[in-house]
């Protein structure tokens, strides 16, 4: 583990390391709490920074590979800073039956990015999700905690325009 320790000590981001150590301490540095701790890291930074991997490994006595494996396995853990607004568009069968494929193509075109990417201005990240639990009213788009139903191209454009003008 000396290589891991040397790596995390060199160029360690003090803010990330401090946050990780505090979150790990909240869970008594238990390796079995890694997923809960990762949720805390993501809540604190909006994503899981690379600097957190070494700090988590060190605090929980895991290998960097163990930590990376969990982060990469679960699609909800973001490895890069997301846009100010994350648009989650449902791609499940029920929404597809109601037009989400056309909406998906429109969303990519309107934002100029594919699914999984962030616009150049950092405003929007477009994500595909598979069921938002709003099947009867699809296609659905989730923005933050707000669920939008029966979204078509025009409604999507209005939603994006409103978010562009929103502050904070």
Q: Which tops the pLDDT comparison, 133 or 11? A: 133
* Predicted local distance difference test score (pLDDT) of residue 125: 95
Average pLDDT over residues 50-61: 95
End-to-end Cα, the chain, rounded Å: 42
Compute how many other C-beta atoms are within 10 angstroms of the C-beta atom of residue 119.
16
State the pLDDT confidence band at 10, using cuts at 50, 70 and 90.
low
Is the model's pLDDT at 37 over the cut of 80? yes
Rounded distance between C-alpha atoms, residue 146 and residue 18, angstroms: 32
Is the model's pLDDT at 105 over the cut of 90? yes
State the pLDDT confidence band at 144, using cuts at 50, 70 and 90.
confident
pLDDT digits (tens, 9 = 90+) for 18-30: 999 999 999 999 9
Rounded distance between C-alpha atoms, residue 118 and residue 116, angstroms: 7
* Predicted local distance difference test score (pLDDT) of residue 12: 75
Enter the pTM of the model: 0.75
Domains and CATH numbers, the chain: 2-73 (no CATH), 85-165 (3.40.30.10)
Rounded distance between C-alpha atoms, residue 150 and residue 157, angstroms: 13
Average pLDDT over residues 137-162: 96
* Predicted local distance difference test score (pLDDT) of residue 166: 73
State the pLDDT confidence band at 138, using cuts at 50, 70 and 90.
very high
Is the model's pLDDT at 141 over the cut of 90? yes
Average pLDDT for the chain: 90
Q: Which tops the pLDDT comparison, 167 or 57? A: 57
State the pLDDT confidence band at 94, using cuts at 50, 70 and 90.
very high
Place of tokens 């990240």: 125
């Amino acid at each position: 583990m000396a290589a891991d320790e040397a790596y995390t000590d060199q160029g360690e981001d003090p803010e990330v390391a401090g946050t990780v150590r505090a979150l790990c301490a909240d869970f008594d540095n238990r390796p079995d709490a890694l997923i809960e701790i990762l949720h805390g890291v993501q809540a604190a930074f909006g994503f899981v920074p690379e600097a957190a991997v070494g700090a988590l490994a060190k605090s929980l006595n895991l290998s960097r590979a163990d930590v990376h494996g969990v982060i990469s396995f679960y699609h909800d853990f973001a490895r890069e800073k997301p846009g100010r607004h994350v648009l989650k568009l449902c791609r499940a069968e029920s929404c597809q039956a109601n037009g989400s494929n056309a909406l998906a193509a429109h969303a990519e075109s309107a934002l100029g990015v594919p699914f999984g990417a962030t616009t150049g201005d950092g405003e929007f990240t477009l994500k595909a999700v598979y069921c938002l639990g709003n099947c009867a009213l699809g296609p659905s788009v989730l923005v933050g905690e707000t669920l939008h139903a029966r979204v078509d191209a025009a409604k999507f454009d209005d939603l994006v325009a409103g978010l562009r003008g929103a502050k904070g």
